[in-house]
């Protein structure tokens, strides 16, 4: 099995799961406060190529802005409220820069899964920029960030830009040629939809020399089952009931 897997079994999805506004620094603190030693978050580029955290293509659902997130320069993105949509406690929480979240995670010894989530049409440039930024931010750190993407163009660009950073292929559905794809991008892991998990798939991925992780597992019994099958890691939104401290 691949040696480059220093990651824990429990990963806080989008930083703080459902308990905090996703992909913010506040979410990272909530994840850490619940004992999570690894967080997942989504990164894309502003119009002027600053890497920042946001899941959707558009700003509307998780900020008080609107329209395509990649159309705004970073100086405008940082003025948005990315917390008020979640709950009153988080009103005024800003959009997080990749740099700020990386600094927090490294300082607090929290491992990161950086999901490269490009705005449409910017797949390769986002993969390149995120990988180069990650390389600079984590220089000298003990545990490298795991880069992943649904976009194979982003993953290929990340591989070219910073081949030394570990990568995971993120898939909506497990493709029949997953072995070839993992080899092509020199990945360490396959990140699957939890509904596709089976003991056979986990064994096959391990036998091929890779790790396997599943998103998004929100039922405690399901989490326990997948881990008992040998799943290497699970992403969860339910930080209270699916706890690494249990
Ligand atoms: O990286 C795992 C998971 O976050 C992928 O789905 O849509 O929540 O980014 P999504
Ligand atoms: Mg994600």
For residue range 73-93, list pLDDT tens digits in order.
999 999 999 999 999 999 999
- How many CA atoms within 13 Å lie on the side-chain side of 94? 12
Q: Pocket of ligand 1, candidates 40, 111, 145: which has the most ligand atoms within 8 Å of its Cβ, to mutate?
A: 40
What CATH number should be reported for the domain holding residue 129? Answer: 3.20.20.190
Classified as helix, coil or strand, 210 is: coil
| Structural domain includes residue 2 | no
Asked if residue 245 belongs to a domain, the reply is: no
Mutate-to-test residue for ligand 1 from 189, 196, 235, 236, highest number of ligand atoms within 8 A of CB: 235
DSSP type of residue 89: G
Extract long-range pairs of 89-93: CB within 8 Å, 24+ residues apart: 90/20, 90/21, 90/24, 90/26, 93/21, 93/24, 93/25, 93/26
Residue 155 covered by a domain: yes
Question: What are the strands, taking DSSP E only, across 124-217?
Answer: 146-149, 167-170, 189-193, 211-215
- Label residues 133-172 b or e (16+ Cβ within 10 Å = b): bbbebbeeeebbbbbbbbbbbbbbbbbebbeebbbbbbbe
Give the model's pLDDT for residue 23: 98
Q: How far is CA 102 from CA 105, 121, 144, 222, in A?
A: 5, 25, 11, 30
| 3-state secondary structure at position 102 | helix
**pLDDT on residue 103:** 98
226 lies in some domain: yes
Mean pLDDT over the full length of the chain:
97
Query: Does 144 fall in a domain?
Result: yes
Whether the per-residue pLDDT at 54 is higher than 90: the answer is yes
Q: Which of 91, 90, 58 is nearest to 77 (CA)?
A: 58
Q: Do residues 234 and 220 lie in contact, with contact meaning Cβ atoms separated by under 8 Å?
A: no
The predicted structure's pLDDT at residue 4:
74
CA–centroid distance for 135 within its chain: 16
Mean pLDDT of 149-170: 98
Compute the distance between CA of residue 26 and CA of residue 12 in angstroms, rounded to an integer.
13
Based on the structure, what is the number of domains in the chain?
1
| Catalytic one of 55, 86, 109, 206 | 55
The residue segments making up the domain with residue 155 are 10-236
Short-list 46, 36, 35, 31, CA closest to 79: 46
CB 202 within 8 A of CB 182: no
Does residue 121 register a pLDDT over 70? yes
| DSSP structure class, residue 83 | S
The bound ligand whose nearest atom lies closest to the alpha carbon of 172 is: 1
User: Is there a domain that residue 120 lies in?
Assistant: yes
Whether the pLDDT of residue 1 is over 80: the answer is no
Verify whether residue 10 is a known catalytic residue.
no
What distance in angstroms lies between residue 167's CA and the mean position of ligand 2's atoms? 14
Instruction: Say if residue 205's pLDDT is above 90.
Output: yes
- For residue 194, the 8-state DSSP code is G
Pocket of ligand 1 (CB under 6 A): 13, 40, 42, 55, 115, 148, 170, 191, 215, 235
Closest ligand, as measured to the CA of 170: 1
In a domain, residue 49? The reply is yes
Nearest CA to ligand 1 atom 7: 55
Indicate which residue of 13, 34, 109, 206 is catalytic. Answer: 13
244 belongs to a structural domain: no
Please give the pLDDT value at position 246.
80
For residue 17, pLDDT over 80 is answered with yes
What is the reported pLDDT for 61?
Answer: 98
Atom of ligand 1 at shortest distance to CA of 42? 9
- Average pLDDT over every residue of 109-125: 98
Residue 235 · residue 215 · CB < 8 Å: yes
Q: How far is the CA of 145 from the centre of ligand 2 (A)?
A: 14
CA of 215 to the centre of ligand 1 (A): 7
């Amino acid at each position: 099995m691949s040696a480059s897997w220093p990651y824990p079994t429990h990963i806080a999805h989008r930083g703080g799961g459902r308990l905090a506004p996703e992909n913010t620094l506040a979410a990272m603190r909530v994840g850490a406060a619940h004992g999570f030693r690894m967080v997942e978050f989504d990164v894309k580029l502003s119009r002027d190529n600053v890497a920042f955290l946001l899941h959707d293509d558009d700003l509307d659902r998780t900020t008080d802005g609107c329209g395509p997130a990649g159309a705004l320069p970073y100086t405008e993105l940082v003025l948005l409220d990315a917390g008020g949509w979640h709950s009153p406690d988080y009103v005024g929480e800003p959009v997080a820069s990749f740099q700020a979240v990386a600094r927090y995670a490294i300082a607090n010894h929290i491992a990161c899964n950086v999901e490269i989530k490009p705005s449409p049409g910017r797949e390769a440039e986002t993969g390149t920029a995120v990988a180069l930024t990650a390389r600079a931010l984590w220089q000298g750190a003990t545990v490298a960030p795991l880069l992943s993407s649904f976009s194979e163009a982003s993953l290929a660009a990340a591989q070219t830009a910073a081949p030394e950073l570990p990568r995971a292929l993120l898939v909506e559905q497990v493709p029949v040629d997953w072995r070839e794809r993992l080899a092509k991008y020199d990945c360490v892991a396959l990140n699957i939809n939890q509904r596709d998990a089976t003991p056979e798939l986990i064994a096959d991925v391990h036998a091929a020399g890779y790790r396997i992780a599943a998103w998004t597992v929100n039922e405690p019994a399901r989490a326990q089952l997948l881990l008992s099958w040998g799943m290497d890691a699970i992403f969860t939104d339910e930080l209270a009931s699916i706890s690494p401290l249990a």
